[in-house]
Every structure is written in structure tokens, then in C-alpha cells.
Structure 1
Amino acid sequence: MLKLCLFICLIHWVKSDEEKKCPEFTDLNIGNALSGTELQVQLLLYTRENPNCSERLIENNVTASEYLNNSKKIVFVIHGFRPTGSPPAWLGDIKELLLSSEDINLIIVDWNRGATTVNYITAVENCRKVAEILKNYVDQMLVDGASLDSVYMIGVSLGAHIAGFVGQKYNGKLGRITGLDPAGPSFTRQPPEGRLDRTDAQFVDVIHSDSDALGFKKPLGTIDFYPNGGMDQPGCPQTVFSGLQYFKCDHQRSVFLFLSSLKGECDIITYPCDSYLDYKRGKCVDCQAYQPMSCPVLGYHADRWKKLLIPKTSPTKAYFDTSDRHPFCMYNYILDITTWNKNIRRGFIKVKITDYAGNTVESEMNSEASTFQQYKRVKVLTGFYQDLDKISKISLTFSTKTLLSPKHKLRILQMSLKSLNNPERLQLCRYDFVLMENIELTFKPIPCPERGYMKRELLVT
């Protein structure tokens, strides 16, 4: 009798344990990719009440959910093509960071069965099917009191186009879509209805990090961000001998840049501009036209920036440079120089800054060559991996980067250095000095006078 009782108790304990087991993202392998997978979609809900154990939403009975609160923002995260079948490496981080940033309903869209295949075209064909399934879930949420304004979809690669297809079904009334390096292959020549488009939601922000290979090159959103020009990302392998990382590093960088914005260690500031070349030449670093939000920031808080002067039908491209590792922030400055050489000089200026504690940082950006003409102002964009607050010394080196020509001098009438990340800081100046080619000149700057006063001084001299 005692044995029977223990046996019944054991069965009950095992059954209870199975009932408490948390639903997890589908974990497959290369064997599944080779054999192919039939499309299956599951939605895993996380909230601050169940941050570590997901609840699987029932496809035709979403209202039965224990944790879904339709009065809160509903955020969908949609992955892309999975040629190896493993769960995305960033999945755990994006879940934790989104929940810590805001009290939301976070829904991980798991279509790994359907995305795991060596046949990319099969995964592409499944995108519209996934979108139709997601619409069924959203429809039920709307009936239960949710608002389209509160629906936010974050799509990675193929997932970005899935989000776009869902948005089309609601005539662009979704609150927001973020596309993280939307897939290029099979979508590049598609019309707006065949891919993600800026009309698919009220606000569409897109990060292009691999636009010359796996990603999409042309603008797709309300605002399109192009880190480091949108192609080769610093810190990523440059040769095929690096293995799989060579193919996916640039493509995945969009995700890690987005994650960085959630960690809040620094804001990645971007600059609306027509081209990366114009940005590098310092032509697009004044964001006063976009007040009161100033320059847009990348990532989760990109929707805080609102365009005031640009027509709604016109997309905005924003460019910026990053470091090669987390948190990816660059601290940018504009070096504004007026020269008085009679002959035109063309070359580069490297900048180093030192603070009062003796810390020194050197410019990390590969700026474009500048053309220096007599009494003409030239702006040089320069950036540092580390932010120094109180600058005590500035070092400049002029170079033409030519080996056979004679050494040149660059005669500086005036120079100013202005922080773009912290425009409230003092602008630093220096007047009347000469840079000898390839010889570093170090000096102590002085605070710049007010602009009107500076102009009067130049007229007097």
C-alpha cells in the first residue's frame, strides 16, 4: 500500500514538473537545415511578471493568456533566416534589455521551423505565411482592447520584411516597425508592397549594416541609419578565412547596435545627410534644423526624434561612425580651420586631445582628404573612442600622404574644435600658427570668443 502511494505521488510530481516546464525557442541543427523544415510558428510571451519563463500564446485563443495585458505596449521580435537551426545568439539579451527598459508585453516570434533550411528561397516564401499568422494573433488582441498604436515590431533580416507585411495588412497603422538590416537578396528589386516600406507603420526606422551583401541598400523607412556608411563594420573580419563570422558579422552588427541603445551606456548620435561622403566632409553635423530633438539617436529611442522641416513623403538618411566593439559610441568633434596659404594644399589632419589628468586620445576616424584654400573655411570631422571632458592640450599633424613630393606647410589663420556630442561645452580656439608636414604640433587652446566678436577681430587684422 505504501509503495502504491509513493508511486502515485511520484507520477503526480513528474506531471506537475512537466506542466511547469517553460516553453522555449525551437532549437534545431544543421541536419534539420539539410532535410528542410515545415513552417510552424509559436509566440512566446514574456512580461515583467514572467521574465524568465515564457508563456506560449494559443493561436486561436489569445485571450486565454495569463500574462498578456493589452493596455500596455506590445513588442514583437521577429528573427530571420536560420541556416544552422540554432536559436539567435542575441535572443536572451534583447529579451532582458527590452523588459528592463519598459513595462511591456514582449513576444518572441519563433518561426525557426520554416526559417531553418539551406534553401533561402523557401524561407523567403514563408515570410508572407508568417505575417498572415501574426495578423491572426494581432486581430484577437485588438478585439480584447489592444491598440494598433501600441504595436511595435522589431524585425531582423527577413523578419523586417515580415513586419512590413503585417503592417501592410493594417494599412500602415501599426505604431512602429524597426528593421535591423532588412534582407537584400530576393527583395532588392521588389516594389514597396513586396518588402518593408516606410508606409507600413506610423514610424519606420531601419539600420543598414551590410548593404553591400546580405542587407538592403536603399532607404526603406521614415529614417534609415547607415553606420560606417552601411557596409563594412569595424571589428568584423575582412577575409573569408575567418569562417562564418566573415559572412554574418556585418549583418548582425545592426542587432548589436540596437542592443547597445537599450543598455544606455551612451547615446549613438547620428547625422541626417544625403551621403556618407558629405557626412565625412563635415557637411551635415549641424542638427539645429531638427530641433527640439536635435540630432536623431540610434536604436530603441529613435522614435523620440521627429522631423519638422522635411516633408513626410521624403525619407531621411542618417550617417555616423562607430567604434569596433560595445558600446560602439564615437565622440565626435568638428575641427574648423581657415588657412592663409597662397597655394592650394590638399591633405589630412590628425587630431589628438589631452585632458588635465594627462589622458590622451587620438582620432580614430578615417577622414576624407580636405582641400585648403586661402581664407576658406574647412570642416574636418574627427572622432574618438573615449570622451575627455576638460581638454588641456590639442595636437595636430598635417600630412599629404605622398612620399616623393617635398614637405609642405599649412599656415593656419584660425582653428576651432567643437564637441558634437556635447555642444554645450566650450568651443576651443587657436590663431596664427604653422603646421609642418608630418610633424606634430601641440598647443594649449583658449576658449573661442563669441562668433560676432571673432568676425570683428578678423576684419581688424
Structure 2
Amino acid sequence: MGSFSSVVVVFLAFVIARGCEAASVTYGDLGSFTYGSGCHHACPESPDAIVIKYWLYTPEKNSGYSKELLDRYDDSTIRNSNFKGTRGTKFIIHGYTDVYTSGWAQDMKKALVDENMNVIMVDWQEGAGRINYAQSRANTRVVGRDIGKLIARLKAVSGASYGNMHIIGHSLGAHTAGYAGEALSGQVGRLTGLDPAGPEFTGCGNECLIDKSDAVFVDIIHTDGTLNPQIEYPIHGCGLLDQLGHQDFYPNGGEVQPGCEATNVIQACDHMRAVYLFTESIGSNCFSCSKKCTSWENQSSCSNCGTCPVMGYGASKSKGQGAFNLDTRSNSPFCY
């Protein structure tokens, strides 16, 4: 959710977006989107209104990293780009009121390109920046399906495999990743949710959340998923504490992060910590979990687990499934 005040976010979460006359809308090859009941209560905008762009970065260097605009309707933009189907491909999706040029997103992009990856930045800042949070939340459904269509074209044009696709999303971007994986029937290799957004998602079913049915491997990092006791009028955190993936990581319990206790709520320190932890993990297996828990709801159930999975870039489904806890430092480098 960028650095937007979580107070305002929670308030806007209760404002329902109404801009359609019927109970469903259809947007070309993306198909129909029903709304008005369950967790899909707001009408999503069209792809043209959201303004979805895909910026490709690759290791080819002329002046800095290669940057190219991909168009899923024009195969030549893929064919004539530096995209290589033999490389791993990473998607980065920002959240509410955020932009792909944010410092955290650019730092993550650079670290991934340095790992010899195709990196595609999903730019949906128009649709993500609506004053009405409920509208941006609804727009994630359209963006997710659109990403699915681009991935299908990448496979058809370059021979890239779904298994080599890894979609990384922060906040609303995490649920957008879930919709993208769902659009491809869970064939995508991996989804990583960085503190998936909580407002309007609490209590929702899997059809509205990033979850382990959306990809072969789904890992989640929770950093801001409960009440913040450090402010005068505590509110629900910006993220979810629910177990959503094959592996759910709860650094420092997944709630208030060290170093964030005294910060102003507008800085969304806890909510943004997930992206910094993930970026720091790229090229390193530093964040080895120390405990496995029976569930996030009962942290007292955590016990030393011997061989635990690594949180972040190096996470692997082969290391087991469940909820995992670990401690981090208050400043970068966060790993002990």
C-alpha cells in the first residue's frame, strides 16, 4: 500500500465502489467479472481505465539495464525484446497508491536482474491510485487476469514455461498475483505474497485471496497483520495474518516489526518491512527460520524445527509446509 496512512486505508475500505449498472461486466478476452455479492462487491474498471503497462528489464547492458515496454496484444514487442524464455522470469506488482518506480521496487528489480532474470514490472498506478480503496481493490481482478494473458503470450512466443514464472506482489499486489495464478489454473511456478493486503480481505474465501491453489508454490511473508499497540487508537494492520500459502513466514510474530514501534503510522513501517526482507534475501539464504508453528493463531505452539525453510528468495516447497517464525534485526541488514 505504499506509504499511505493505514488509518485512511481502513476508513476507505468501507466505501463501496459502484460504477456499473449490471451485476457483471465483460472486458474483451479477459471475460466477465461478476460483483455485488460475497467478497466481489465492487465493479472493477476496464483495462483501459486502469492503464496497465509492463516494463521489461533484462541483464543486457547498453546504458544501464535494458528497459522495454511489452504489449500483450503485439507479439512483436516480445519477439523483438531482450526477453529470453530460457531465463527465469520475475514479475513485481506494487500495491495501493504505489508506483513501479518506487525505491523498494527498483531495488528489488535491480537485485533480481543481477541474478540474470527477466524482470517485468507491472505498472498499474492509475487503477491502484483511486481515492476509493474499494475501487482499487476491485481492479486487482482485472490486472491479475491481464497478467495471466501476458504470461500465456510469453510462453507462446518465446517458449518460456509457466514453471519458470515467479510473481511477487506487495499488499494489493499480492492478491493481484493470486488472480494471475488463478487465471492460469495454478500452473505458474511460484507466487510470493509480501504482506498481502488486509482491508476488505479479512474473512474472505480463496476466490478473493492469494492462496496455495494459485501456483505450484506459494510463499507468504507477514509483517503487519494485527493491531498496532503503539498508537493511541489501535487499528487493524494493513496486512493479513491468515495462513494463505504452502509456507507462511511470520518474522517477529508477523505483527509489529522491530524498529517500527515508535514510527509515525503514515510511514507504514511494518507493512513495508516485508519487501525489504525479501530484497535482502536475494542472493542470500540468510533468513533461516528457527521455529515451526502449528498455526499463526497460537505462537506458543512454535517449536524448534531442525531443518526449516529459508524465508524469502531462497524459499523452497521441498522444505515442508506450514507456518514458520524467525527473528530479525531492527535495521538493515535485517538478518542476524
TM-score exceeds 0.5:
yes
In the alignment, which residue of structure 2 is the partner of 1:416?
A: none
CA contact (8 A) 2:169 2:176 kept: yes
Could you tell me how far apart the structure 1 residues matched to 2:124 and 2:298 are? Answer: 41
In the alignment, which residue of structure 1 is the partner of 2:332?
A: 326
Could you tell me how far apart the structure 1 residues matched to 2:160 and 2:266 are? Answer: 41
Deviation, 1:120, is 0.7
| TM-score normalised by the chain length of structure 1 | 0.56
CA contact (8 A) 2:130 2:136 kept: yes
Look up the SS of the partner of 1:174 in the other structure: coil
In the alignment, which residue of structure 2 is the partner of 1:286?
A: 305
Amino acid corresponding to residue 255 of structure 1 in structure 2:
V
| CA deviations over 1:9-42 (Å, ceiling 9, x no partner) | xxxxxxxxxxxxxxxxxxxxxxxxxxx9941011
In the alignment, which residue of structure 1 is the partner of 2:275?
A: 255
Aligned 1:74-113 pairs, distance under 5 A: 74-82=89-97, 87-100=101-114, 102-113=115-126
Percent identity, aligned pairs only, is 37
Deviation, 1:305, is 4.2
- With over 3 angstroms needed to count, the CA separation of the structure-2 counterparts of 1:200 and 1:269, relative to structure 1, is same
In the alignment, which residue of structure 2 is the partner of 1:409?
A: none
| CA deviations over 1:30-81 (Å, ceiling 9, x no partner) | xxxxxx9941011000111145341011231243332011122111111110
- With over 3 angstroms needed to count, the CA separation of the structure-2 counterparts of 1:125 and 1:108, relative to structure 1, is same
1:208 and 2:230 matched:
no
Amino acid corresponding to residue 50 of structure 2 in structure 1:
L
| CA deviations over 1:393-413 (Å, ceiling 9, x no partner) | xxxxxxxxxxxxxxxxxxxxx
Deviation, 1:86, is 8.4
| CA deviations over 1:201-254 (Å, ceiling 9, x no partner) | 010000010011110111000000001111000101446xx2522xx1000000
1:177 and 2:191 matched:
yes
In the alignment, which residue of structure 1 is the partner of 2:248?
A: 224
Look up the SS of the partner of 1:198 in the other structure: coil
Deviation, 1:321, is 1.3
CA contact (8 A) 2:188 2:216 kept: yes
In the alignment, which residue of structure 1 is the partner of 2:260?
A: 236
Aligned 1:9-158 pairs, distance under 5 A: 38-50=49-61, 52-62=65-75, 63-82=78-97, 87-100=101-114, 102-144=115-157, 145-158=159-172
Amino acid corresponding to residue 230 of structure 1 in structure 2:
G
Could you tell me how far apart the structure 1 residues matched to 2:295 and 2:104 are? Answer: 30
Aligned 1:344-423 pairs, distance under 5 A: none
- With over 3 angstroms needed to count, the CA separation of the structure-2 counterparts of 1:237 and 1:279, relative to structure 1, is closer
Deviation, 1:89, is 2.5
CA contact (8 A) 2:94 2:173 kept: yes
1:273 and 2:293 matched:
yes
Deviation, 1:113, is 1.2
1:264 to 284, 309, 315: 284
Look up the SS of the partner of 1:302 in the other structure: coil
Could you tell me how far apart the structure 1 residues matched to 2:177 and 2:68 are? Answer: 22
| CA deviations over 1:357-403 (Å, ceiling 9, x no partner) | xxxxxxxxxxxxxxxxxxxxxxxxxxxxxxxxxxxxxxxxxxxxxxx
CA contact (8 A) 1:58 1:64 kept: no
Instruction: Find the structure with the greater CA-based Rg.
Output: 1
- With over 3 angstroms needed to count, the CA separation of the structure-2 counterparts of 1:140 and 1:263, relative to structure 1, is closer
Deviation, 1:296, is 1.1
Amino acid corresponding to residue 39 of structure 1 in structure 2:
I
5+ residue gaps, structure 1, are 1-35, 288-293, 308-314, 331-461
Could you tell me how far apart the structure 1 residues matched to 2:278 and 2:95 are? Answer: 16
| CA deviations over 1:155-179 (Å, ceiling 9, x no partner) | 1111111111111112211100000
RMSD (Å), alpha carbons: 2.4
| CA deviations over 1:403-431 (Å, ceiling 9, x no partner) | xxxxxxxxxxxxxxxxxxxxxxxxxxxxx
Aligned 1:404-443 pairs, distance under 5 A: none
CA contact (8 A) 2:54 2:120 kept: yes
Which protein is richer in strand relative to its size?
1
User: In the comparison of the two structures, how many residue pairs are matched?
Assistant: 275
Look up the SS of the partner of 1:47 in the other structure: strand
